[in-house]
Amino acid sequence: MEFGVVLQTTPPSRRVVDLAKRAEAYGFDYVWTFDSHILWQEPYVIYSQILAETRNVIVGPMVTNPATRDWTVTASLYATLNEMFGNRTVCGIGRGDSAVRVTNGAPTTLATLRDSIHVIREMANGRSVEYKGSELRLPWAGKSRLEMWVAAYGPKALALTGEVGDGFILQLADLSIAEWTIAAVRQAAAAAGRDPDGITICVAAPAYVTDGTEAGLAYGREQVRWFGGMVGNHVADIVPRYGDDAPVPKALTDYIKNRQGYDYNEHGQSGNSHTTFVPDEIVDRFCIVGPVETHIQRMQDLKDLGVDQFAVYLQHDDKDHTLQAYGEKVMPAVADHVRAKN
């Protein structure tokens, strides 16, 4: 099982780079960031510095979208980073949330998402592709390699992921929802004639390591309650689109019935003012809060479901301790142990 960390590109950018370096030092394999150019700094500029100051981590957005940048620009960004630093990028992509809504836009259609995945992947892998009536290619990108990992919740988005994604990103750590979504992605892959096991499964959620006391648990929950609000914002259109009888786990949609809007000025921030509708039960299911043993058990459970990577959202007040606890205790506990001598 691999591990990633999800950062916000909040100034100072030096702190973001330093956290990425610390993550690599503790054995993390991926460094992800939000991609919302109004709320935070431009991630691709920061990726260049992260890659320059690390040796092994793979970087990418969790997640970008088809609307913010022209698809050929996105492909060129990745191909350039790959040429500079040796194919250490990945593209997480979805329909769009904060990056488009803050500028009064809307998430793209799934058809647009599908087309963007094709164009970005072909061009960033040095291949030619038809785009706006022309056959285009990055003539200098023959050695570039890029995978497209798709973030999804609803049935149609999960089907698209199985049909065209190299990876699947589930932004929550609930075991029952993870089992349902992974099955949906793999079924769609099989129906499309693809190898279901060839799709990388990534679960991403906040993790907060506590001292095992009730007071510590209560404090940790408040630090990550924002995540239930963000997920609720992502899935808010599933109910009206599919209705109350939607083939979606109730745990994913029922809790947002008391949701009263969303303030993007507090997007992805602990202690924000618009997540009081998120109950403790959802915090405990979607996030991982508790002593080290709680984190190890959830990692093992996710691993048993076929999850290939867990990415830790670090939007709380204990970033450094979380990296240390995962690097020194959680990750070694779930690693495949290889004996030097039998």
pLDDT of 337? 85
Residues 21, 59 contacting (CB under 8 angstroms): no
Asked whether the predicted pLDDT for residue 270 surpasses 90, the reply is no
- pTM score, two decimals? 0.96
Q: Binning pLDDT at 50, 70 and 90, where does residue 241 land?
A: confident
Nearest to 87 by CA among 146, 128, 21: 146
pLDDT tens-digit map of 283-326: 999 999 999 999 999 999 999 999 999 999 999 999 999 999 99
Structure-block tokens of residue 230 = 């963000």
Nearest alpha carbon to residue 278 among 301, 247, 306, 252: 252
State how far the Cα of 166 lies from the Cα of 217, in Å rounded to an integer.
36
> Exposed, middle or buried, 12 (CB in 10 Å: 0-12/13-18/19+)?
exposed
**Rounded to whole angstroms, how far apart are CA atoms 89 and 112?**
22
Q: Is residue 260's pLDDT more than 80?
A: no
What single letter denotes the amino acid at residue 310? F
Indicate whether 243 pLDDT > 70: no
pLDDT given for residue 244 in this prediction: 67
CB neighbour list of residue 176: distance below 8 Å, 6 or more residues apart: 249, 251
Q: What is the pLDDT of residues 60-98, one digit of tens each?
A: 999 999 999 999 999 999 999 999 999 999 999 999 888
Q: What was the pLDDT predicted at 47?
A: 98
Rounded Cα gap, residues 188 and 158, in angstroms: 8
Return the number of other C-beta atoms located less than 10 Å from residue 124's C-beta.
28
Q: Is 84 exposed, middle or buried (0-12, 13-18, 19+ CB in 10 A)?
A: exposed
Q: What does the mean pLDDT of the chain come to?
A: 94
Better-predicted residue by pLDDT, 272 or 183: 183
| Mean pLDDT (whole number) for 183-194 | 98
Backbone angles phi, psi at 333, to 5 degrees: -70, -30
Q: Report the pLDDT value the prediction gives residue 230, as an integer from 0 to 100.
A: 87
* Each residue's pLDDT tens digit, 15-41: 999 999 999 999 999 999 999 999 999
Q: What percentage of the chain exceeds 70 in pLDDT? A: 99
* Domain 2-210+288-334, classified CATH 3.40.50.150, yes or no: no
Q: In whole angstroms, what is the distance from residue 128 CA to residue 66 CA?
A: 19
Residues whose CB is less than 8 angstroms from the CB of residue 56 and which lie 6 or more positions away in sequence, other chains included: 24, 29, 88
Is 243 or 7 the better-scoring residue by pLDDT? 7
Whole-angstrom distance, CA of residue 103 vs CA of residue 118 = 25
CA distance 257 to 250: 11
- pLDDT of 275 strictly over 90: no
**Domain limits of the chain?**
2-210+288-334
